[in-house]
Structure 1
Amino acid sequence: MDLRQIRYFVAACEEGSLSAAATRLNCTASGVSQQMSALEGRLKTGLFERTRRGVNPTAAGWRLYDRCLAVLKAVSEAEMEIEDFSSGLSGSVSAGFAPGLAKAVLPAALARFVREYPRIDVDIASGTADALVAEASGGALDFYVGQFAKPQVGLTATAIGKFPVALISGSRRGLMPMQPVRLNEIAPLKLSIPSATHSLRPKIDAAIRNGEITVERTISIASLSTGLEFLSLNDWSTILPFWICLKELGNDRVTVNPIVDPVLDVELALIHPTQRPLSRASRQLHDYFRQELQRSAEEWNRMVG
């Protein structure tokens, strides 16, 4: 099948007539008819029921129609993307990502973006989630992606989704890697907990109050890298989003355990100044990030089962 046949076929399905399809495509009815006959011959199945009024797709024809629509959509999207690339889409993007996302998810998306849009300058900010939200609020960042505890005037927050978390512990804790755990059934945890503005913090606090997580002692460490290094040196634990856990699976100084109970998740949002909508370049970087996040989520789900 070539694109011409696909376009002829889709037009015939939608118009219900080979002559009407020919008019729509600015070609001859005999040409459309010949292409459809050739297509049916190649696939060795009837795609249309021909009547005096026109044509009606068969069950096989409708199945092929759905596939052809997907092909044409993909071709159209590819053409638009190349047109943007060829026209030299330029400008700049200034964005912030929560530290864990910046470490585990962003790099692959960013590599793709700078490769495909060489004329766009990119500035990726670093810092705590609180600091990055403040920069977005002040207009220093085009957008921020991360946990968002409460709305702020002047910022628009669009939900990205809820994602699983897991327990990460120093290997001295003695847990079996990737074995699902119920946190109220294991010995009391020495637990490092996120800052108060993190969207996961209220859920952890509530689980501790309700006896769903038993703790011996707690500590709060704002720096992700410091917190992970701290865990690797002792038997403390923390609860972090899956994308960080995924990257730590190859670290033999810590263990990762999916949490069965309590049910905890982390909420992500796209945050930007309300008075300044996202530019096309910003939307593209965010789209690439979302695609990489989805790929990572699928990988985690396969591992957890």
Structure 2
Amino acid sequence: MGTARKPSNVAARTSDIGKTYTIAGMDLRQIRYFLVICEKRNLSRAAEVLGVSQPSLSRQIQLLEGELRHHLLARTGRGVEPTEAGLRFLEHAKAIDALAAQARHDMRTFRSPVQDKVRLGMPHRVARRLAPQIVQAFRRRHPDAALTLAEGLSNEMNEWLTKGRVDLALLYDPPLSALLRYESIYRENLVLAYGKTCRPVPPARVRARDLGRYPLVLPSAPNTIRALVDHACRELNVALNVVAEVDVVQTILETMSEESMFTIIPYSALHDMQGQDYLAHSAIVEPTITNNLTLAMPASGTPAPLVESTAAIIRGLDIAKSFA
């Protein structure tokens, strides 16, 4: 148990996750850190998500424990778990974090009913298809506001949301987090893709249990497509024959063109690739493997009007047509 600190007056500070305050000896930054640790169950992973060093993170938790006069976390063989006191405080921490988010939102909009900027994160492939429509609709609806688009991997966008670097994001199959809320936007089947010169030609419908027969070029973990394929094959007790791990789609295509190799991608990605005229595909069945494009926002507080309006624009898109 750390040394207790004396209660202090409210004092604003800037940190990696935005402005924080000290209230009755508890720093909102420390509370946020505690929430992320409970979410990740691992100090090093939480430190990575929060953008701080692990010693600094541990020190802040010690200070919080000193203030509360209870041990909140216990080390295990696999990481950390909240103690009984930690679980009790976790409910208070969630409520405090939500109230703080609401307070920030209220003060940002005080005497300024229109937020002038919103930050949207998207994977690269989604941005190519949806960004023009989103930008045009946003300009029509909010001519005096600005939309900032950030592109990256879904895993990156998920962490940016947690850190407050973006206000909302489109993600593929994000890991569930109590810090975020999710809404499914569009689902798409994955297919087995290969060059048209491939011999013998696979059947038009390939059973998932037969995927182990094909030499595959797949992205490396933690890519979301790789995670979906690995999960489906584990459920069927199928051992995949992954002959190469390549993270760039165009490089996967070039690798496949050298000899009879295969990959697994969303159907719409067939049309994103240079050299698509040389590609063929087979549907994957029994079961189908489907990705899930998800709209994600922070779970705490009420979204700012401009953020909610941007979410409404995304919900109103004909995404199936955009991905056809």
Q: Normalized against structure 2, the TM-score is what? A: 0.52
Identify the residue that residue 120 of structure 1 maps to in structure 2.
145
> In the TM superposition, what whole-angstrom CA distance separates every residue of 1:233-270 from its partner, at most 9, and x where no partner exists?
55432222233235459821322333233321112322
- Two-structure CA RMSD over aligned residues (Å): 3.7
2:244 aligned with 1:219, yes or no?
Answer: yes
SS at match of 1:157: strand
Identify the residue that residue 306 of structure 2 maps to in structure 1.
281
Gaps of 5+ in 2: 1-112
CA contact 1:249–1:255 (8 Å) conserved in 2: no
Identify the residue that residue 296 of structure 2 maps to in structure 1.
271
Report which of the two structures shows the higher radius of gyration computed on alpha carbons: 1
> In the TM superposition, what whole-angstrom CA distance separates every residue of 1:69-98 from its partner, at most 9, and x where no partner exists?
xxxxxxxxxxxxxxxxxxx97622211112
Identify the residue that residue 135 of structure 2 maps to in structure 1.
110
> Structure 1 residue 274: deviation in Å?
2.5
Identify the residue that residue 20 of structure 1 maps to in structure 2.
none
Partner Cα distance (1:280, 1:176) in 2: 53
Identify the residue that residue 179 of structure 2 maps to in structure 1.
154
Partner Cα distance (1:95, 1:107) in 2: 13
2:283 aligned with 1:258, yes or no?
Answer: yes
CA contact 1:110–1:285 (8 Å) conserved in 2: no
2:192 aligned with 1:167, yes or no?
Answer: yes
Aligned partner of 1:160: which letter? I
Partner Cα distance (1:166, 1:211) in 2: 17
> Structure 1 residue 136: deviation in Å?
1.2
Q: How many residues align?
A: 212
Change (3 A) 1:296 1:232: farther
Partner Cα distance (1:217, 1:133) in 2: 27
Note the 1:35-114 alignment, pairs <5 A: 91-114=116-139
Q: Normalized against structure 1, the TM-score is what? A: 0.55
> Structure 1 residue 187: deviation in Å?
8.6
Identity %: 20
Partner Cα distance (2:119, 2:148) in 1: 5
2:267 aligned with 1:242, yes or no?
Answer: yes
> Structure 1 residue 104: deviation in Å?
3.1
204-213 or 91-100, which moves further after superposition? 204-213
Partner Cα distance (2:149, 2:114) in 1: 19
Identify the residue that residue 137 of structure 1 maps to in structure 2.
162
